[in-house]
Structure 1
């Protein structure tokens, strides 16, 4: 578990456990007092263990390639007739090291925290690898073609630098652990004996990185006490949805048995809209599947229900894609943006840019930039009324830039500099937008699931013609369906396809854009 323990707050609170939250008289949601305190605590941006492990793998490969190549360059190059054995051996050793170190469990974050144990296994793995290389030279009868001095130096210097690299990695991981950057903020759903047993099992594991923030349960009888294994019950599933957004939860674990199908489905219908991992505990389940059907938190088996979309290395890839392509697009389109800015300024009085609050990732409020297309005195910052065909609020220049979506180009600044938008993703909707005079979330079941990823300038829905006015419920329904398809099927190639197709879609599918 992490250094912070929510149970310390209970000890500090002389009033003890308090009633769970619920709707207040003014319609807003009130939290359990401890939930309010936890939600108010600053949350540091956490790093994915998968990302850390990947960086260590990359460092291992680079060290091995550098050592083998540099020793060859300074000692062997120019002195041998055939360099091919060296050119083959070095990359094979690098690949072999990845396999051997993986087999010795040297890439898990828990291993990186214990340098002494890790150093012993690195030394053993590196030695085994070179013994295998010697055996390979012998059986292939190429031992005479490889310098023994080069091989010995490769082994000794490589081992020394690998240990130095692992020591650095260990120190970095320990520091990140102390800073709370490797924690997974976790909520337990389901109190009673099952919840208590799960929490005890999780606490018995070392280096899981979990920080249990509290327990949530829809039951309010003796089956669900206010304290579960010392952790407070903070509310119901409805409370958990809001709590998860405010505290940026990473993981939710259900302790309900699989047989409680109706309860599980009812709860999952509320939680699946969140960008978090959802697991079903199999710790006390009598129903057993094949071992590979489970994932594990330490030694505690769980069943994967939902995974956060675009996670781990995918986040890095999408971020790099956005920054590089977004910067190139901003440079390429800057003449058009400058010309548009001048046209907007000359056409009507008021600012060039229009700023509007919209829903971003995980329902966070973000400010998006657009070229102003409405007369300034008629600006609708809350989007209380959608722009319709021949809307008198739209300026002459505004009508053209809205039809061609040129008004959206300033959002490249959101992508490149603010980072709260992506090039491709579900379009960010205005906070008070409606379809048939009903809020979008009332029209579409699971509407907020489209906020499981960062919103984008263009998206799968837009290239299929679902853009512009949403005057009917079917239009917003179809738009959300396309957004959810994108989220479930994301890839860099899909992003690239959408970007390439966007200009053509703007020319051929703009009948709803006013």
Structure 2
């Protein structure tokens, strides 16, 4: 293969270049921070050792969090998010080591902080620059990977649309071979010959799952080629959730429906709930006291309404809300949704529900670990039993902890679900959130809730 047709990311792979950039950022950041803090360019041995340890931690954590892989198909925001997480962990490790080694007199905490701040800015800036340059180069038709597509016509059309929708990833179609009916020896020989003639870097086998035997035949026919071969199965009739390829018990598996809250993601999500939830709980305490007094003085009955809901992995928990209705008796196994001008509402109940102030006690559920600040809203148990039979993948919204606010709510899907279509749309948004979860998405939803999510005319 000539250097003209070889992509830049293959000649200079991120796995080799970016770690060097991160190490250089730490070294340069440490040097500049020391010069700024102490006015000296001669670094003591202890400072050089600290810089070396921080650089080692940065590289190791990036390797663990896949910060140096899949740059072609990873968004810039995801790369920066991983980088920020790495730098925060390094900061925690550095300060912990200094504290437990009782070396605080030998190391300036300000120097450590400025070093990490400057190095993060440089490492992040390098990633932004590289991604922008690569995207510009690929959009101009250079540094692209040629792909040969194989499969039924309708599959090839869908894959081609996806490639056109992501031009920055740098893939281009070198040729196609449609599958019409059975695959014979003559067809396989023609395929192998065409792949050779077009010099494709990759071959994508785009077939539905029921054509698994065809994948084996195609793969065998390409055994003498150096092109990378990818299997892109067709899942369009299946509602996938956080799907990916993993390795289980020594075997590769295509995960069709799994929770994203595993490993480090689970820890990060819990820390987010504790820190943000704790701060909000302190801030809203006077408001909660005022609401409790108003409820007690305007209607007989308890201040809090408690009801069992379904939590993560289908486990039931008791959710807390400010009571907004008069004491009444529901039929067993039935939960009547609130409607406009509902006679069961107390004198301040409609206001509490319309402004979502009745949900404030659920921050206690968050601190308990039974709910999250952001996640699918928990529905009544009777609603779960009803809708799980009519809405596809309804129960998969319980792969994560339910939330006080969610992607569906900030997109206007709140209040009464009096039609099946309304519930389907809410579930669709909930599943999208689970499939695309990130800390940045949570923060975006929290901000949207603050600005437009509290008051909603559809919340009765």
Q: TM-score, normalised by structure 2?
A: 0.50
Between 1 and 2, higher relative CO (CA 8 Å, sep ≥ 6) is seen in 1
